[in-house]
Amino acid sequence: MQNKELTMGKYFATRAVHAGREDFIAMGVHAPPLDLSSTYPTPDLDVAARSFDRLVAGDGPEGSFIYQRLFNPTTDRFERALAELEGAEDAAAFSSGMATFTAVLLAAKQRGTHVVAVRPLYGTADHLLTSGLLGFSVTWATQDAIAEAMRPETALVVLETPANPTLELMDVASVARQAGQVPVLVDSTFATPALQQPLSLGASLVMHSATKFLGGHGDVLAGVVAGSHALVRDIKHVRAATGGLLHPFASYLLHRGLATLALRVERAQASAIDLASRLASDRRIASVRYPGLPGQDPRGLLGRQMRGPGGILAFELGNDDPAVLRDFLGALEIITPAVSLGSTDSLIQPPAALTHRVVDEQARTDAGIGRGLLRLSVGLEDVRDLWGDLDRALAEVSSRLELRDDAAALSR
Ligand SMILES: *Cc1c(COP(=O)(O)O)cnc(C)c1O
C-alpha cells in the first residue's frame, strides 16, 4: 500500500497545519516571520564568500543569506513545509509553475537533451517541449510505451496525473519502472499532496503549479518542485543563476494556504463527486470525465495511488457548437468562466479554446480534448448552489442540446 496519508505517526491534515512551524515556540511567534529583504549585511567577507559559493551551487546558507535571489528565509520555510508534505528531502519554489518546469528541464540538461512525455500535459508545458525553445527534443509516448521511447540521451520523463484537462490517471509506479535510472517528473497540481505522494510511488521529482490548490485563493502565482537533495540542489543552482524564484510574500501566502489544504481539497472533492454523478445522469450532457465515476479508473489507481478523485472534472454538452458553449458559459451566475483552478470559487473554461490552444490540434484531438470539452474546477461554494447554477445554464441552452438516450448510463 503506497497510501502515505499517515506518515511519522501523524495524519496529513495535522502535518499540513504544522509543517514549517516547528520552531515557533522557541522563536516566540505564532505566524511565520515575513522577511522582505532584497539584500543581507555581509560584515565578514570570508563568511560571506563561503556562503555565496554554497548558495550558488544550490546548497543552504552559512552565515549570511547574501541576496534574495540566492536565499530567502520565508521562501525556505515554505519549501521545507511542502517537502515534508510530499515526503521529499528538499523543495525549490519559483515565481510560476512554468518557471519551475523550465528550471527542472535546464537542470536535467547535464544528462541529455531528450525528454519522454505523456500527453495530455498542461497546454503551455506541451508547448514548451514541442517548440524546442529550451533545446530539448521530445518523444510523446503513452503511459504503457515509456520503455520503448527511452534513448541513451533521455534526461527526463514527464507526466501529469490526473492529466489536465481530461482527468486521466497515469500509473506513476509503472512509468517509473519503465524509466529505469532516468528521473521521472510528476506534475501533481490536480491532486496536491493531500491526495497523493508521487515520490512514494517511484517518481524522482514532483511539481505543482502552486497557483492552484496550494495557494488556493486565486491570488498567488507560483510553482514548486520537490525531490532528493541532489536533484533539488541542481535545480536551485539553476535558480540562483537564472532567477525566477518566488517572492517572499507569495511564499508567506502559500505557507498560510497549506494549513487549510486538506480541508479545501476534501470539500472541493465532495462537491465534485456530487456534481459528476448529477452530470453523468443528465441527458443534456454528452460525456463526463471524472476518475471517481464508474469505469473511469481502469487501472484501479484510486486508493492505491490517489486517495480520492479530486476536485476537478470535465464534461461535454450535447452540442459542441461554440455559440452554444458561449451561451452556456454566459448563463452561469456563480461559476466564473476563467482559466486556472483550485481556487475558493468555482472556475470553468473550454481547454481547446484557451489553456490548450497552444497544443497541436491533432494531438489535442487524439488526447480527447474536443472543442466542446469544459473543465470545471469545483470551489468551496455550497454544492446545491453550484448544481443550481449548472442546471439553470443548461436549461438556457437545452433547446439546442442533443439529449443522450442512454440516460444514467454514465453514472452506472
Ligand atoms: C497551471 C498549470 C501549470 C502552469 O503553472 P503556472 O503557475 O500557471 O505557471 C502547470 N501544470 C498544471 C497541471 C497546471 O494546471
What does the pLDDT look like over 160-185, one tens digit per residue?
999 999 999 999 999 999 999 999 99
Ligand 1 in contact with 96 (CB < 6 A)? yes
Ligand 1 in contact with 342 (CB < 6 A)? no
Domain ranges of the chain: 4-37+72-258, 262-400
Query: Hey, which of 94, 95, 96, 98 would you mutate to test ligand 1's pocket, going by the most ligand atoms within 8 Å of its Cβ?
Result: 98
Contact residues for 171 (Cβ-Cβ < 8 A; gap 6+)? 143, 299, 301, 305
Q: What is the mean pLDDT of residues 338-344?
A: 96
CB 284 within 8 A of CB 317: yes
Q: How far is Cα 181 from Cα 128, in angstroms, rounded to an integer?
A: 24
Tell me: the pLDDT tens digits for 366-382?
888 899 999 999 999 99
pLDDT of 327 reads: 98
Phi, psi of 259 (to 5 degrees): -65, -30
1: confidence class by pLDDT, cuts 50, 70, 90 = very low
Q: What is the mean pLDDT of residues 243-262?
A: 97
- E strands present in 127-172: 137-140, 154-160
Coil vs helix vs strand at 384: helix
- Please return the burial class of 29, using the count of CB atoms within 10 Å of its CB with bins 0-12, 13-18 and 19+: exposed
pLDDT of 410 reads: 57
Taking the centre of ligand 1 as the mean of its atom positions, its distance from the CA of residue 98, in whole angstroms, is 6
pTM, whole model, 2 decimals?
0.96
pLDDT of 408 reads: 52
pLDDT of 8 reads: 75
Please name the residue ranges forming H helices in 259-405: 261-280, 322-331, 361-366, 383-397
Query: Hey, which of 124, 347, 358 would you mutate to test ligand 1's pocket, going by the most ligand atoms within 8 Å of its Cβ?
Result: 124
- Please return the burial class of 152, using the count of CB atoms within 10 Å of its CB with bins 0-12, 13-18 and 19+: exposed
Give the closest residue to 159 by CA, choosing from 123, 189, 194, 120.
120
Pairing of strands 90-94, 10-11: unpaired
Ligand 1 in contact with 125 (CB < 6 A)? yes
Taking the centre of ligand 1 as the mean of its atom positions, its distance from the CA of residue 156, in whole angstroms, is 18
Share of the chain above pLDDT 90, in %: 92
Ligand 1 in contact with 162 (CB < 6 A)? no
Q: In this structure, what DSSP letter does residue 309 have?
A: -
pLDDT of 7 reads: 75
Ligand 1 in contact with 211 (CB < 6 A)? yes
Distance of CA 373 to the CA centre of its chain: 20
Taking 90 as the threshold, does the pLDDT of residue 210 lie above it? yes
Annotation marks residue 284 as catalytic: no
The pLDDT mean for the chain works out to 95
Taking 60 as the threshold, does the pLDDT of residue 328 lie above it? yes
Coil vs helix vs strand at 316: strand
Annotation marks residue 326 as catalytic: no
3: confidence class by pLDDT, cuts 50, 70, 90 = very low
The β-bridge partners of 169 are: none
Q: What is the CATH number of domain 4-37+72-258?
A: 3.40.640.10
Tell me: the pLDDT tens digits for 87-108?
999 999 999 999 999 999 999 9
pLDDT of 367 reads: 87
pLDDT of 176 reads: 98
Q: How far is Cα 54 from Cα 133, in angstroms, rounded to an integer?
A: 30
Taking 70 as the threshold, does the pLDDT of residue 407 lie above it? no
Q: In this structure, what DSSP letter does residue 182 have?
A: S
Label residue 308 left, alpha or beta by phi (over 0 means left) and psi (-120 to 50 means alpha).
beta
**Of all atoms in ligand 1, which is nearest to the CA of residue 125?**
10
Q: What is the mean pLDDT of residues 380-393?
A: 98
Give the closest residue to 375 by CA, choosing from 398, 394, 395, 355.
355
Q: Among residues 77, 119, 122, 234, which one is catalytic?
A: 122
Taking 90 as the threshold, does the pLDDT of residue 5 lie above it? no
C-alpha cell at 243: 532567477
Q: How far is Cα 214 from Cα 232, in angstroms, rounded to an integer?
A: 19
Annotation marks residue 187 as catalytic: yes
Q: What is the dihedral angle through the alpha carbons of 211, 288, 363, 165, rounded to the nearest 10 degrees?
A: 0
Q: Worst-scoring range by mean pLDDT, 226-235, 361-370, 402-411?
A: 402-411
CB 196 within 8 A of CB 227: no
Cα–Cα separations (whole angstroms), residue 289 to 73, 275, 383: 41, 11, 18
Residue 274 or residue 1, greater confidence: 274
Q: Worst-scoring range by mean pLDDT, 29-43, 253-267, 347-361?
A: 347-361
Q: Among residues 4, 50, 69, 326, which one is catalytic?
A: 69
**Of all atoms in ligand 1, which is nearest to the CA of residue 189?**
13
Residue with cell 470553468: 348
Q: What is the mean pLDDT of residues 235-263?
A: 97
Q: What is the CATH number of domain 262-400?
A: 3.90.1150.10
